[in-house]
Amino acid sequence: MTAEVRGAPDPATLEIVRHALGSVADEMALIIARTAYSATVRDALDYSTGLATPDGELIAQGLGIALHLGSFPAAVVAIQGAYGDRMAPGDVFILNDPYGWGGIHLPDIYLLKPIFLDGRQLALACSLAHHTDVGGLIPGSNSTTTTEVFQEGIRLPGVHLSEGGRLNQAVLDIIAANVRVPEKVLGDLRAQLAAVDAGERGYLELVARYGAGGLAELQDALLDLSAGMARRAIAAFPDGTYRHESWIDSDSVGPDPIRIAVALTIAGDEIRVDFDGTSPQVRGGINSPLPFSKSAVYAAIRLVLPPGIPDSAGYFRPITIVADEGSVVNPRFPAACGARGITGFRIMDAVLGALALAVPERVPADGEGGNTLISIGGDDPAGRPFVYVELFSGSRGGGPGFDGPAGVPHPGSNNANMPIEIAESTYPLRFDHYGLVADSAGAGRWRGAPSLVREFTYLGQDAAVQVRSDKREHPPFGLAGGSPGRPSVTTVDHAGDITVRPVMGPSPIRTGDRFRHELASGAGWGNPLERDPAAVLADVRNGVLTPSRATADYGVVFGPVGSDESDELVASVDAAATAAERTRRRRVPTLDAELHGERE
C-alpha cells in the first residue's frame, strides 16, 4: 500500500524520508566496506556512494569522501546524455574517463545503476571506489611523472558492465588484462555491484511506501530545503570579494610551484568562486578535472554552512564556479591527472582561506594538506605480485575553540590510515614506528595537531616508491596570529645512508631500506601567548611539547619539578614568571603568521 504525498509535505514526513534515503546510501557504503577485496577500499575507506535523480542531482550521500561526492552529477549527466531512453532495468554502467564522461582520475571507477519502475526511470544508485591499480606507468596508477592520460592506465568510457541484468564478462576480462592485481580490482568491482543492487532495492522499498510520484515530490522538497537553508546561511555572511591563494610545491616534472588562486564573492545569498590567475595545466599528473575541482569547492563551502542542512545537491545551487579551460583546475585532454587529489586539497585550502577572511570564526587553520599517497609495487618474497597504496593523513589545524585533532583526516577525504597489522600481513613491510612527532605542532592559542610519522622497513625486491605529498616549501598557514605548521619530509635510510626524497615523484627503494614519512603538522589559530598555561603543561606531560619548546613558543615558565598522584616527576607552571615573560614578549614587535589573502 502506498502513501501518495499531496500538497506540501509535512516536516515530519520530509525528515523521515531524508534519513531513509541517507540510510539507503549508507547501506551501500557498508556493503562495499564489508565485501571489498583490497585494503585500499576495505581498510583505507577510499570509496563513496549516493543516490541521484535522472538529471544528475544528488538526493542522498552515503558515508564517503567529500571530494568524490560532488562529482557524481557530472558522471550521471554523461551517462544520461549518451544512453537516455536506451537505458533499461538491470543495466549497470561503468566509467572512469575524465574526458567527456565525468570521471575524476582513472583509479576512481564509477558504477551507475538506473532504477526503474514500470518502464520509467526514477533514480540512479551510484558507487565509486579508488581501485588499487588500473595499469599505467607505475603500480597504483597515481604517478605524478606521467605527462598524458594515456600513460595512466585503462580508460573506461561509459559502457555497460551489466545489460538487462546480464553481466558483461568481456568488460571484466579487458580490465583484468590491463591491471597488475586483477583479483583485487575485480573483487572491488563486485563489491560496488552489490552496493548499487542494494541501492536499487532500498530505493524501490521507499517507492512502495510513498509511491513514485510521492517520493519524487519529497525528493524535490528536500533539494529545495537544502538550497533554501544554504541560501539563508550565505545571506548572513558579509558581502564582498575575498581572495586567497594556495601553492603546490611541484608537479615533479617541472621545477616551478603551482598556484591555485581564488576570488570568492559573496553577494546576497549566493557565492561565486572564480579561479582566474590559477596556473595553466601542467605536464605532471596533478591536473584536476573540472568535476573534481567543483567537488572540492562544494566540500569547502559545506564546512562553513550549518551542519543541519540536508546533504544533497540542493546546497550546490547557490554556488557558481568559474575556471578557465586549460588551467590546472580544468585541464584539456589529454592532460595527466592520476595524482589530481593534491590539487583538490589545495583548492579546498584556497577556498577556506578566502572564507576565513569573510567568516573567521568558522574556519580553522591549515593542516597537513590532505593524505600523502605512498605506492610500491612488485613481487613479495613468495613471488606474488602486490601493489601497496597507503593514504596517510591526520594532522589538522587548530580552530576557534579547539586544538587541531590528531589522527583525523582532511575533511575532503575521510580516509583511514591503513592498520599496521593489515599492511604487514598483506605486503612485504615491517613497520618500525607510527606515532606523533614531539615539538612539531603549530603554536597558537589553539594549537595544531603534531606531525604524524610512519616508518617501515621494506622487505620486497628492489622497486620504486611513489610519493605524492606536499606542504614542504609552502607549509600549512596559521590564522589569527597562529604559527604555521612544520613542513613534511620523506627520507630513506639505506644501510645508514639517509637521503631526503622529493616531495612528489618516484625514487628507488631497495630490500632492507627504511622508509620514513612525516606529515606536515597542523598550524595554530590565535596568539600562542594567549594559550592557557594549563593546556601547555598538559601538552608537556603528554609528550606533545618539550619544556624548552613550551617556553619558546608559549612563554610558559616552569617551576621546580614535583610529582603528581602517580608519583611521576613533572614540572609545574610558575604563574608569576609566565605572566612576566608573556608581558615582556608582547612589548616586542613580532611578525605573526599571515593569511595570504585580501578582502576587497
Q: Please name which of 47, 46, 36, 28 lies closest in space to residue 188, comparing C-alpha atoms.
A: 36
Query: Taking a C-beta distance cutoff of 8 angstroms, is the pair 513, 457 a contact?
Result: yes
Torsion angle defined by CA atoms of residues 288, 304, 469 and 127, in that order, rounded to the nearest 10 degrees: -60
Does residue 437 contact residue 491 with C-beta atoms inside 8 Å?
A: no
The per-residue pLDDT string of the chain (600 residues; one tens digit each, 9 = 90 and over) reads 344 444 578 899 999 999 999 999 999 999 999 999 999 999 999 999 999 999 999 999 998 999 999 999 999 999 999 999 999 999 999 999 999 999 999 999 999 999 999 999 999 999 999 999 999 999 999 999 999 999 999 999 999 999 999 999 999 999 999 999 999 999 999 999 999 999 999 999 999 999 999 999 999 999 999 999 999 999 999 999 999 999 999 999 999 999 999 999 999 999 999 999 999 999 999 999 999 999 999 999 999 999 999 999 999 999 999 999 999 999 999 999 999 999 999 999 999 999 999 999 999 999 999 999 999 999 888 888 999 999 999 999 999 999 999 999 999 998 889 999 999 999 999 999 999 999 999 999 999 999 999 999 999 999 999 999 999 999 999 999 999 999 999 999 999 999 999 999 999 999 999 999 999 999 999 999 999 999 999 999 999 999 999 999 999 999 876 545 544 445 789 999 999 999 999 876 544 444 556 767
* Strand, helix or coil for residue 120: strand
Cβ pair 398, 405 in contact under 8 A: no
Q: Are strands 319-322 and 270-274 parallel, antiparallel or unpaired?
A: parallel
pTM: 0.94
Q: Are 365 and 449 in contact (CB under 8 A)?
A: no
Secondary structure (H, E, C), 206-239: HHHHHCHHHHHHHHHHHHHHHHHHHHHHHHCCCC
- Record the cell numbers describing residue 513, joined without a space: 631500506
Angle at 64 between CA 213 and CA 284, to 5 degrees: 120
